[in-house]
């Protein structure tokens, strides 16, 4: 993109030099002879006088007009076509006038949902005699707040709401101050819950997304590991190192947004979507036999088994979700077919064919205060996708559909999308609203994901998961305080192996001497859920990379989120009614047949 205007600039400069040279040559050749015109010289009007002058002037005029047209086209491109592009940003930083203009005013503050100054996400503070941009939450909210630097660009709220934050808050402010102060932004984020979410993840690679129900406002969106957003403003060497490492090993980088812009396999959390499809298709009473030898899909020889290795016998949908039975959902997926699954996935905003774009530019709702281009650049996630073709073929077989139906295979989901899955079934009327990061934005419906009856049935099944299913052990800490619902997940994901010192991919040579990159299997722990059961007010999704079973690593984080939400009064719930004991000790007996089947 830059090569075209650069070439035009060189052409204009060359043309101007040529004009200057022609003028000098013309002046030299047209100078009067020192001895005058010889008397015997042939009279040729084209060699002397006005005719010669006019001919040279016409040539110079043509060259000059062409040069002007090129210059106007060049400047028009930079004024109307280039702003907002990466090339423009890289070149604009060389102009010191832009830096002075950028630093001549103060951007507005970014507040959490309370709007209180002491809970600001981005503000100014006095550092000696200098006013500096401050991000009080540091690593806990770096992917949300972002940063803003003329040399290194911007991210997060600083980029998505750049126009609003730079817009003078009033006409009086513009007239009375040479450095007008920009408008403030109030977000949906709860600073305390955001900090807690990051602390629960700290030291591990993973992400948390918490949404309010039913309006789908983002209460927290944390990613770990993270970075201090003041690094690009204070430490050029450290920032350069972070950027270089992010290019080498994005899977390990603190700059990677794991909550919003990273694909994961959903594991058994995807069974919630399959359960919705089963109920909406009238298959809620279907029973399948799940044996200890596993289920073999048509045209396949590979058995599909549960992690525990045992069989559940002949069971229905409720028991299958409670104990996360892979065999059941593999058979249910085949009975439903790819078409029915694709329809339900599409209702939740999940694409089912080839990706149409690299970013989902229609997922969020935001006010006109956010420039759409800037907002999508900052917060547009890659579209979540499941591979569900209309017909089977050589590479997509019944076995492919079977494993995709319990969350493995080529599924690509973001953590925001999994939180929306939980929010959809948590909504009393089965209607899912578009998520929002900005407080006070008018509701926009993403769609009717299921009927109210289906949503209620799925919530009851998810409640059984935390009461006596795969997450019963983790949620025992909340028993007696609040009733909740959720679903564990464990996903096997193939990843590149990096050298911890150099961050270069580890390579090996095969028997033929060919070099290949070493890959390994990560076992990611996931959990999605909602609280409270009686009147859902939050929905959430949690992932901890390479941490094993969801019941062991992700579910305890979910418990921490619910506990903190209760403390902050983001949710209010009556204690669950006492249930009859089914154990001699008087304590509810855990009924778990699987440790956690994906």
Going from N- to C-terminal start, the domains of the chain cover: 3-28+46-92, 193-353+360-567
Residue 307: its pLDDT value, please? 75
Tokens 């009007």 correspond to 45
* pLDDT for 530 beyond 70: yes
Tokens 């009556």 correspond to 574
* pLDDT for 427 beyond 60: yes
More confident residue, 389 or 10: 389
Residue 345: its pLDDT value, please? 94
Residue 437: its pLDDT value, please? 97
Please, what is the Cα angle at 111 between 188 and 178, to 5 degrees?
140
593 and 321 in contact (C-beta within 8 Å)?
no
* pLDDT for 46 beyond 60: no
> Domain 193-353+360-567 is in which class?
alpha beta
3-state helix, strand, coil in the chain (%, to 5): 40, 15, 45
How buried is 249 (Cβ within 10 angstroms: 0-12 exposed, 13-18 middle, 19+ buried)? middle
**Helix runs in 440-519, H state only:** 452-468, 472-475
Residue 100: its pLDDT value, please? 54
**Residue-wise pLDDT tens digits, 278-293:** 999 999 999 999 988 8
**Residue-wise pLDDT tens digits, 320-367:** 999 999 999 999 999 999 999 999 999 999 988 766 667 788 899 999
Q: At 62, is the pLDDT very low, low, confident or very high (cuts 50, 70, 90)?
A: confident
Residue 354: its pLDDT value, please? 64
Residue 201: its pLDDT value, please? 96
Residue 341: its pLDDT value, please? 95
CA dist 184 → 269, 380, 439 (Å): 38, 22, 12
Residue 253: its pLDDT value, please? 93
* pLDDT for 591 beyond 60: no
Whose CA is closest to 413, among 487, 478, 360, 469?
A: 360
The whole-angstrom separation of Cα 568 and Cα 212 is 13
What's the whole-model pTM score?
Answer: 0.81
Q: What percentage of residues in the chain have a pLDDT greater than 90?
A: 58
Residue 356: its pLDDT value, please? 60
Lowest mean pLDDT among 81-85, 133-137, 200-204, 551-555: 81-85
Residue 10: its pLDDT value, please? 72
* Cβ-Cβ contacts under 8 Å for 11 (sequence gap 6 or more): 67, 70
Lowest mean pLDDT among 29-33, 267-271, 276-280, 310-314: 29-33
Tokens of 517: 């990159």
Q: At 310, is the pLDDT very low, low, confident or very high (cuts 50, 70, 90)?
A: low
Residue 585: its pLDDT value, please? 40
What is the rounded average pLDDT for all residues in the chain?
A: 84
Give the DSSP H or E segment for 198: helix 191-201
The packing angle between helices 50-76 and 3-29, to 10°, is 160
Tokens of 451: 């009927």
Residue 122: its pLDDT value, please? 94
Average pLDDT over residues 519-546: 96
* pLDDT for 308 beyond 70: no
More confident residue, 486 or 74: 486
Average pLDDT over residues 528-537: 96
**Residue-wise pLDDT tens digits, 68-113:** 777 777 667 666 666 555 555 555 545 555 555 555 568 899 999 9
**Residue-wise pLDDT tens digits, 167-196:** 887 554 444 455 567 899 999 999 999 999
The whole-angstrom separation of Cα 328 and Cα 318 is 11
Residues in the chain: 598
Q: At 582, is the pLDDT very low, low, confident or very high (cuts 50, 70, 90)?
A: very low
CA dist 103 → 57, 100, 131, 557, 577 (Å): 48, 5, 11, 41, 59
């Amino acid at each position: 993109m830059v090569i075209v205007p650069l070439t035009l600039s060189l052409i204009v400069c060359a043309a101007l030099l040529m004009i200057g040279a022609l003028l000098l040559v013309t002046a030299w050749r047209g100078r009067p002879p020192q001895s005058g015109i010889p008397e015997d010289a042939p009279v040729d009007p084209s060699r002397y006088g006005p005719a010669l002058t006019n001919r040279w002037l016409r040539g110079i005029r043509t060259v000059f007009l062409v040069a002007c047209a090129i210059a106007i086209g060049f400047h028009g491109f930079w004024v109307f076509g280039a702003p907002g592009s990466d090339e423009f940003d890289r070149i604009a930083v060389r102009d010191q006038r832009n830096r002075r203009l950028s630093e001549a005013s103060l951007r507005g503050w970014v507040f959490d949902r309370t709007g209180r100054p002491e809970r600001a996400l981005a503000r100014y503070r006095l550092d000696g005699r200098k006013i500096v941009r401050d991000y009080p939450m540091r690593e806990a909210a770096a992917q949300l707040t972002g940063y803003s630097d003329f040399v290194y660009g911007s991210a997060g709220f600083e980029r998505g709401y750049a126009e609003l934050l730079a817009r003078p808050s009033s006409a009086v402010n513009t007239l009375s101050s040479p450095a007008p102060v920009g408008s403030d932004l109030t977000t949906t984020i709860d600073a305390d819950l955001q900090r807690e979410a990051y602390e629960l993840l700290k030291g591990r690679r993973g992400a948390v997304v918490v949404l309010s129900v039913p309006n789908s406002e983002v209460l927290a969106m944390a990613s770990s590991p993270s970075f201090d957003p003041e690094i690009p403003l204070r430490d050029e060497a450290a920032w350069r190192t972070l950027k270089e490492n992010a290019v080498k090993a994005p899977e390990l980088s603190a700059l990677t947004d794991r909550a919003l812009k990273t694909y994961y396999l959903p594991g058994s959390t995807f069974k919630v979507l399959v359960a919705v499809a089963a109920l909406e298709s009238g298959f809620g009473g279907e029973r399948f036999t799940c044996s200890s030898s596993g289920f073999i899909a048509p045209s396949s020889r590979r058995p599909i088994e549960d992690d525990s290795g045992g069989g559940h016998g002949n069971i229905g949908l409720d028991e299958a979700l409670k104990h996360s039975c892979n065999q059941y959902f593999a058979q249910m997926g085949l009975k439903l077919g790819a078409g029915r699954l694709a329809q339900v996935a599409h209702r939740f905003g999940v694409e089912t064919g080839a990706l149409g774009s690299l970013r989902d530019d229609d997922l969020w709702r935001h006010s006109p205060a956010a420039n759409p281009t800037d907002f999508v650049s900052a917060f547009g996630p890659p579209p979540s996708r499941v591979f569900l073709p209309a017909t089977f073929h050589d590479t997509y077989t019944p076995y492919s559909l079977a494993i995709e139906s319990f969350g493995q295979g080529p599924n690509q989901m973001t953590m925001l999308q999994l939180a929306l899955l939980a929010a959809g079934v948590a909504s009393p009327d089965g209607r899912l609203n578009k998520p929002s990061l900005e407080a006070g934005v008018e509701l926009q419906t993403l769609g009717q994901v299921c009927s109210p009856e289906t949503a209620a049935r799925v919530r009851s099944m998810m409640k059984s998961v935390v009461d006596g299913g795969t997450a019963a052990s983790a949620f025992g800490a909340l028993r007696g305080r609040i009733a909740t619902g959720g679903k564990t997940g464990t996903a096997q994901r193939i990843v590149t192996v990096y050298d911890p010192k150099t961050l270069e991919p580890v390579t090996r040579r095969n028997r033929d001497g060919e070099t290949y990159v070493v890959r390994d299997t990560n076992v990611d722990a996931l959990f999605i859920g909602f609280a409270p059961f009686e009147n859902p007010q939050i929905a959430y999704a949690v992932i901890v990379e390479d941490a094993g079973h969801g019941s062991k690593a992700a579910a305890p984080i979910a418990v921490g989120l619910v506990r903190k939400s209760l403390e902050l009064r983001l949710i209010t719930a009556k204690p669950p009614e006492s249930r009859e004991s089914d154990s001699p000790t008087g304590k509810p007996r855990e009924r778990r047949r699987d440790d956690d089947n994906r």
